[in-house]
Structures are given as C-alpha cells and as structure tokens.
A and B are shown apart, each in its own frame.
Chain A
Amino acid sequence: MTALDWILVALGAIALSGLAVLVLHGRRQNEQLEKLLLAADDRLEQLQRQFERFVPADVVERLTEASDVLAPERRQVTMLFADLRGFTALCDRLDPAVTVGILNDYFRHMTIAIGHHHGHVTEFVGDGLLALFGALEANPWQARDAVLAALDMRAALARYNATLRERGLPELRFGIGIHGGEVVAGVIGTAGLSKFSVTGDPINVASRVEGLTARYEVDLLVTEDIRRALDDQFRLRPMPPALVKGKAEPIQTYHVEAER
C-alpha cells in the first residue's frame, strides 16, 4: 500500500469513528428525550389525578381530550339534589376535624352510589351535593338511573349511620329532590374559576323539590316529569301539590318508597 492509501484508510477510519460517535450521540440524545417525554407525561398524569380531586374524572378526561368537547349545548338532563338535614346544628357541637371527617365519608359513599348508576357529582355546596345524569353524554335512561342512585344513596346512608352509631356519633338524615328537563350544559364561570355544570329553570325546580322533603318529612321526592319516565319498577306515593318559589302553579311530587 502506498502512503496515499494509508492516508485514505486513516481518513476512512476517522470518518467511520466520527459517524459512530455521531450515531451514539444521537441515540443517547434520543434516549434522553424519551426519558424527558415520559417524565413530562408522568407529571401531566399526576396533575390530572390531582385535578380529579376537584372536578369529576369524566370532565377532566374530556377537557384533556379536546378543547371543544364540552362546548355549551342544550341537553335533556336529570338533576339530583341532596342535602343533609340539621347538619349545621351538628357542626356547632362537634370538633371541626370530626365534622369534616363525617362529611367527607358521607360524600364518598354518596358519590360511589351515584357513579354506580351513570351519574356524576358536579358540585358539593356545604353539606349538599348536586349530581347530574345525562349531562356529559346522552342517556336515555337518566330518570331511572337517578332514582336508582337515590335508592342506593338511601341504603348507603343507612350503612354509614350504623358505623356512626358504633362510634358514638350522631346519625345523618338527608333529603333528595329529583327533576329533569332541558338545560344548558357547559363549562360555566370565569377564566380563573369555572366548573362543568348546568343552568336553567329545571335546576331550580330540582332544588325546590329537595326543599319540599323537609316539609313532607320524607327523604326522597321526584317530580311528575320523572314519574312519567318510570315504569312500575318503583313504588311511588303522591304528595299534595305544593307551591314553590318561582313557580306560578303548584308542583306535583311523589315520594319514592322502594323498588318493587
């Protein structure tokens, strides 16, 4: 081999080593990028889980999937209002930590019962909650779901009261009002603070019906609209028509006694 050949071989070797270094470097960079991407994804997932403590998981999922999926729209929705009776008076007597513990456990049991029947809790206000059925996606059986959820809530509250009794704590009582109708569903609020919820007259009616449970001393009332959507699966007792705030005519309600 001539000196030129040696030089060419040496240059070739240098070029090959350079190429190998570049490939290795590129691969290392890729691996680092991959790690960064997975770490970023980890952080996003953690954030999403934290977010789900404040907003229903279904809503979080839809918000992260696409920006316009929760665009406001008119929907047929069934609303369930539940409120604890006499809890404010209880709060004055109990240690704050115990009060919050009781309330959190109560909400947990109720949320499970509601989720079990295709509903989702959209907000907790004090010791009350609002659950929606058919707000996130069309649900042809929303009235039935809401009533079944309420019956499960009644059973869950009875079980929870048994544990409270064992701990020497006061038992809870609630009132539930269910009504359905066309509402506007969407993300409502300001850029700084907003929530997925519904607005419209039916929600006021549902709230008033929940208020009637105290007057009639029953735990679960549904409106005529809900009754019409049910079959004889449930044992209903008609209550006297009642005038409620914001309505010119008295509204007919029914006490749901049990599932047949």
Chain B
Amino acid sequence: MAVLLSEIQWSDPVLPAAPDAAWEAELKRRGAPVLEVDRRVAASRWLREAAYQATNYMPAALPERLHRMGSMVTAQENSCRYCYGANRAYMKLLGYSESFIQQVERDVQMAELDAKERAYIAFCRSLARSRPRPAAAERAALLELGYTPAQIGEIAFAISFGCFFNRVSTLLACPPEKKFERMAAGPFRWLLALAMPLMKKFGPGRPETAALDRATLAAGPFGVVVAPLAGLQAGTIMKAALDGSFESGLLSRSAKALMFAVVARTLGCPHCEAAATRLLLEDGFGQADIDSAMATLRSPRLAQGEAGLLAWARDTVYYEPSSIQQKTRALGAELGAAALLEAIGVASLANATVRLAMLLE
C-alpha cells in the first residue's frame, strides 16, 4: 500500500542549503524555478545539472497530464515527501480536482482514464516500486496497448529519472516546497495556473538537448543501459549524468562502480552488475576482490572513509524515509559534506540506471 502525503515521516535536512548565485542565475536564464533541492546540490556540477533535467524534462511523445500523473505516483511509491507534495500541487495547478488526485494516489480504478492510461499508471507504480522490477512481459503489455517502443523508452526513463530525483530529495531530507504547495491549494491558484503556460510560451526556454545515436550512447559507463534511448533526449540526459558522476573525483571510481553493482544485485539486474564489474576490472580489481566486496558489502581496496558506502547504497533501494535519512546522516559523519553529496547523487543514479535497465529485458 503506497503511503499518502500526510503519512510520510521526514526528518530535518541532512545537508544545509549552499546556494550558488551563478547557478541560480543560470536556472533563471533557462526559465526554471530555483528549488530547495537546487540550493542543496549546487556544489556538484553533474548532480545539479541532472537535478535540473529531472524536474524540467518533458517527454516528447507523452501528454503533460499523463507525465505529471506518473511523476506523482512515482514520488508516492518512493515515499518522497518533497517530490510527492510538489507534484500533487502541480497537478492541482493543471486543473485536476482534489477527488481525482485522491483517486490516483489511492490507486482506485479511475473511470476517467482509459485502459491505456491505467496501464501507464500501473507501470509507473511497478517500475518505481521494483519489487520485483518489471519484466519483459510488462513491457510487451504496454506495446500491445499501443505504446510505441520510443514512448516506452521515454516512460521508463521518466520514471527511472524520477526515482533518481526522489532519492536525491529524500536522502537530503530536502524541506518541502511549502510555499508552492500552499499557493496551489489556495483560492488564487487559478492565477498561477494561467500564468504558468504563458511563462512557458513567452519566458526563457529550456535549452535544446540534441539526441544522440546508439553508438555514442553506448560508449561510457553503463552505456549498454542508455543505448536503447538512442534518438531521444532522454538518452542524452542519462548519458550526461552517468559520465558526469564517474568523472567527478570526490569518491573513487571503484567505490562508485561497487555502489552500482550493489544496487544492481539488490534489484536483481545482471546487465548492470556486469557493466559495473567491467569498470572494476578496468580499475585493477580482480574477480575475487569483486566477489568478496559483493558478498560482504565491504572492500579493503576502498578508502577508509568509503567503508560504509556499499551497505548504505544497498539501503537506498528499499527504505523508510526517516530511517534512510538517519543512516545518510551517519554516513555523512564519515565522509564529510562534499563527498556525502556525491554519494547521494551516485546512489540515486544507480537506482535510476538499474530501473532503466528493464528496457534490456
């Protein structure tokens, strides 16, 4: 049973806001609001860009209303107080009634939605939850209902990247956008509802992201997972996040690859575990080192500060928010703020990548 907004237990922020004036100016130039999450991830170049993409990505072949509904149920399944509240408020601004939103969040059979839309919502829940991760049959069912492979790619990406952003917000215990939520629930929400499409139309636009071909996407860490998104903006966004996270030097590359491997094993993804193993072999790990690390969630080859990363990464797959926030705070005491932010980004991205890998099934 997915939790409702009022039932989520949320702790105080794990990391304080660390605003970056230049990044905030850039967000405004792109016509994006500066969110609580943006203020907390600004110190990491790849993570702040990925966070921006997560909140501003719009699938080309999916109506906005469906995308928003999917984002809300994804956030709900991940028990992300921050994203769930913001997405719920956004749906109200899009004109959805309170009773309709309640039906969606309570997973009630909705007469307003057709079979295709209901299957979409069910798929969002299933992939976000991943207990177990959806298999080829669920993908085939979507194809049968009339979704194209490209649409399914966009849907899978949107949910997976939603899971990434949900985790970033949750692991940071980001304070909810209360002001926005109040406005969306207030009597003058229609003003905001009117202003938003106008701002979208006449305001500064989101920079164009060129779609990349399969060969380009396949190069780089976890390219095998990104390759099915060839020709879609989603592929470019995912590749940039993965490349950026592995280029950043705050944590060792091996620690990151092991975190991905642990998340892959938790979710039962042989494709991602094999991709992580390749990275570790490139880094000089022997197969025995990898097996031992995977069996015990520890590795003598990692730096002392990185010792707790693998067990913690495993805990970021299924969790109760206040519990994982407590564990994240404890990890921060070992790592320090900058490396903790990096770890939060990497673990969140690993969760997204392994979910996206369902496209390979």
Interface residues of A (CB under 8 A from B): 30, 34-35, 37-38, 41, 45, 48, 60-61, 64, 116, 118, 137-138, 140-141, 144, 229-231, 233
Q: With A116-B323, A137-B132 given, is the CB distance from A45 to B298 under 8 Å?
A: no
A45 x B296 contact (CB < 8 A)? no
- For A35, the chain B residues whose CB sits under 8 A away are 99
Q: How far is the CA of A30 from the CA of B112 in the complex (A)?
A: 11
Report the minimal beta-carbon distance from A138 to chain B, rounded to whole angstroms: 7
The answer on a CB contact under 8 Å between A144 and B108 is no
Candidates A116, A141, A229; contact of B314 at CB < 8 Å: A141
- Whether B296 lies near A233 (C-beta < 8 A) is yes
Alpha-carbon gap, A10 to B202, bound state (A) = 49
Residue of B nearest to A45 (CB): B1
Cβ contacts under 8 Å, A34 to chain B: 99, 103
A84 to chain B, nearest CB (A): 26
Asked if B1 and A38 sit within 8 Å, CB to CB, the answer is: no
Contacts of B131 in A (CB 8 A): 137
Please indicate the chain A residues that have their CB under 8 angstroms from the CB of B102 in the complex: 38
Q: In the complex, how many angstroms separate the beta carbon of B260 from the nearest chain A beta carbon?
A: 15
A-B contact pairs, 24 of them (CB 8 A): A34-B99, A34-B103, A37-B108, A38-B99, A38-B102, A38-B103, A41-B106, A41-B108, A45-B1, A48-B1, A61-B1, A116-B323, A118-B318, A137-B131, A137-B132, A140-B265, A140-B266, A140-B295, A141-B297, A141-B314, A231-B292, A231-B295, A231-B296, A233-B296
Closest to B320 in A: A115
Given contacts A38-B106, A60-B1, A233-B298, 14 further A-B contacts (CB under 8 A): A30-B111, A34-B103, A37-B103, A37-B109, A38-B99, A64-B1, A116-B323, A137-B132, A140-B265, A140-B295, A141-B314, A144-B297, A230-B296, A231-B292
Chain B residues near A140 (CB-CB < 8 A): 265-266, 294-295
In the complex, what residues of A have CB within 8 A of residue B109's CB?
Answer: 37
Within 8 A of A (CB), among B288-339: 292, 294-298, 314, 318, 323
Interface presence of B268 (CB below 8 A)? yes
Chain A, residue nearest B266 (CB): A140
Residues in A whose Cβ lies below 8 Å from that of B296? 144, 230-231, 233
Min C-beta distance of A234 to chain B, whole Å? 11
Please measure, in the bound complex, the distance between the C-alpha atom of A85 and the C-alpha atom of B30, giving whole angstroms. 66
- B contact residues around A231 at 8 Å (CB): 292, 295-296, 298
Q: What residues of chain A lie closer than 8 Å to B292, measured between beta carbons?
A: 231
Interface size class of B (residues with CB under 8 A): 20 to 34
Per DSSP, chain A at the interface is helix
Query: Roughly how many angstroms separate A150 CA and B124 CA in the complex, as a whole number?
Result: 36
Q: Chain B residues near A144: list those with CB within 8 A.
A: 296-297
State how many angstroms separate the Cβ of A64 from the closest Cβ of chain B: 7
CB neighbours of A138 from chain B (8 A): 268
CA of A138 to CA of B174, assembled, Å: 31
**Bound CA span A61–B125, Å:** 14
Within the assembled complex, what's the spacing in Å between the Cα atoms of A72 and B111?
35
Contact B297 A38 (CB under 8 A): no
Question: Which chain A residues lie closer than 8 Å to B103 at the CB level?
Answer: 34, 37-38
Q: Name the distance in Å between A192's Cβ and chain B's nearest Cβ.
A: 24
Cα of A60 to Cα of B106 in the assembled complex, Å: 16
Nearest residue (CB) in B for A42 is: B106
User: A48 CA to B103 CA in the complex, in Å?
Assistant: 17
Q: Which residues of B contact A38 (CB under 8 A)?
A: 99, 102-103, 106, 108
Which B residues touch A41, using CB under 8 A? 106, 108
Chain B: which residue is nearest A116 at the CB level? B323
Q: Complex: how many Å from CA A41 to CA B2?
A: 13
A231–B300 alpha-carbon span in the complex (Å) = 12
- B6–chain A nearest beta-carbon distance, Å: 13
Provide the residues of chain A in CB contact with B108, threshold 8 Å: 37-38, 41
Taking CB atoms and an 8 Å cut-off, the chain B residues in 103-151 that contact chain A are 103, 106, 108-109, 111, 131-132
Q: How far is the CA of A144 from the CA of B295 in the complex (A)?
A: 9
Q: Which of B268, B294, B295 has the most CB of A within 10 A?
A: B295
Residues of chain B in range 63-92 having any CB-CB distance to chain A below 8 Å: none
Report how far A48 CA is from B106 CA in the complex, Å: 13
Q: How far is the CB of A256 from chain B (nearest CB, A)?
A: 15
Given the complex of chains A and B, what is the CA–CA distance between A61 and B1 in angstroms?
6
What residue of chain B has the Cβ atom nearest to residue A231's Cβ? Answer: B296
**Whose C-beta in chain B lies nearest to the C-beta of A35?**
B99
B337 CB, nearest partner CB in chain A, Å: 25
> How far does the Cβ of A47 sit from chain B's closest Cβ, in whole Å?
11
For the complex, what is the distance from the CA of A118 to the CA of B327, rounded to whole Å? 14
Taking the closest CB of chain A, its distance from the CB of B360, in whole angstroms, is 19
Within the assembled complex, what's the spacing in Å between the Cα atoms of A161 and B340?
A: 35
Q: Contact string, B249-293, partner A, CB cutoff 8 A, digits 1/0?
A: 000000000000000011010000000000000000000000010
Residues of A within 8 A of B297 (CB): 141, 144
Closest residue of A by beta carbon distance from B4: A45
A242-B109 Cα distance, complex, nearest whole Å: 58
